[in-house]
Amino acid sequence: MTPDLSALKWNANGLIPAIVQQHDSKEVLMVAWMNEESLSKTLETSQTWFWSRSRKELWNKGATSGNTQQVTEVRFDCDADTLLVLVDAAGAACHTGERSCFFRVLGRDAVEPL
């Protein structure tokens, strides 16, 4: 079945947040944004493609770092406004080198963007 991507609830900028989760361990790795083109490319290639709001361009996770993400399934929530992308991630998902972007705990670690 070819999904009707236009039926997803894209925000005012044509974007939808995508939570990326390791398919077997269920670790939440990262969150990034997709537009319809990046989601289409993700489904076509089974590799994650996102939209960079700062650079205003598509990016393929791992294209430069080698830390690619093989997509096993894409889920969406009851509001159809958030995606859950199940992947098999090679190496770190975070630009800091951590496996997951969510490596800090509120109340234990200093709160600031890295």
Give the count of alpha carbons within 13 A of 67, CB side only.
14
Does 102 help bind a second copy (rule: CB under 8 A)?
yes
Phi and psi angles of residue 40, each rounded to the nearest 5 degrees, phi first = -60, -45
The residue within the footprint of a second copy, chosen from 31, 33, 59, 99 (CB under 8 A), is 31
Does 53 help bind a second copy (rule: CB under 8 A)?
no
Phi and psi angles of residue 6, each rounded to the nearest 5 degrees, phi first = -65, -20
In 43-99, where do the E strands start and end? 49-52, 57-60, 69-76, 83-89
Does 15 help bind a second copy (rule: CB under 8 A)?
no
Min CB(101)–a second copy separation in Å: 4
Min CB(95)–a second copy separation in Å: 7
Size of the site for a second copy (CB under 8 A): 47
Q: Is 11 exposed, middle or buried (0-12, 13-18, 19+ CB in 10 A)?
A: exposed
Does 67 help bind a second copy (rule: CB under 8 A)?
no
What residues line the site for a second copy (CB under 8 A)? Answer: 1-5, 7-9, 17, 19, 21, 25-28, 30-31, 43, 73-84, 94-96, 98, 101-108, 110-114
